[in-house]
Amino acid sequence: MPYCNNCGASLPEGVRLCPSCGADIQSQTLPPPPPPMPQPTQEEGKKRGVLLTAWLIFMLIANTGVTIYYFLFGPLIMAMLPTIPSWVIYALGIGALLNVVFTIFLFKWKKWAFFACCGMALFAMVINVAVIRLGITSILGLLGPVILWLLLRSKWNYLE
pLDDT mean over 59-77: 94
Q: How far apart are the first and last CA of the chain?
A: 41
Higher-confidence residue: 23 or 100?
100
**What residues does each domain of the chain span?**
47-158
pLDDT exceeds 90 at position 19:
no
- The whole-chain average pLDDT of the chain stands at 86
The pLDDT, as a whole number, for residue 42 is 52
| Neighbouring-strand partners of residue 10 | 3
